[in-house]
Amino acid sequence: MVDTAAMIIGDRLRSLRESKKLSQGDIEKRTGLLRCYISRVENGHTVPAIETLEKLASAMEIPLYQLFYDGEQPPKLPNLLKKTADDIAFGSTGKEASFLGRFRRLISRTKEPDRRLLLYMAQKMAHR
């Protein structure tokens, strides 16, 4: 039984390979994948892993997205992350906010030279 997704990927791979005027033997040499395996992929009998798709795209000198998308330019991606820098800043929510609050209360009880020492140590650790 042939998987529809495997057929679509296989057809797309064959089409791209032929448009580049490459044989299955050329792809075999460039990827190290056996020609019989490449044939099975192109005929929809095998679903390749993403790592294999990356090898095939590299062998054809195309970006990976072209195996799944037919347009000339990469597809426009929706902005799924609509957060501002304030929303994702450390200590703005959850456990981090609780931790930062506790730290702020403890620092308020320390003397100025000790606060400067803590700041210096934090700067050194952040640069490691």
On whether both 59 and 16 belong to a single domain, the answer is yes
Query: 26-78: per-residue pLDDT in tens?
Result: 999 999 999 999 999 999 998 899 999 999 999 999 988 888 877 767 667 66
Residue 90 DSSP SS3: coil
Q: Is 80 within a domain?
A: no
Q: How far apart are CA 48 and CA 63, in angstroms?
A: 17
Query: 83-96: per-residue pLDDT in tens?
Result: 665 556 777 777 88
On whether both 91 and 50 belong to a single domain, the answer is no
pLDDT tier at 103, thresholds 50, 70, 90: confident
Domain span holding position 112: 87-126
Greater pLDDT, 87 or 118: 118
On whether both 60 and 93 belong to a single domain, the answer is no
Q: Is 34 within a domain?
A: yes
Q: How many domains does the chain have?
A: 2
Q: Is 76 within a domain?
A: no
Q: How far apart are CA 114 and CA 34, in angstroms?
A: 66
On whether both 53 and 16 belong to a single domain, the answer is yes
On whether both 46 and 97 belong to a single domain, the answer is no
pTM above 0.75, yes or no: no
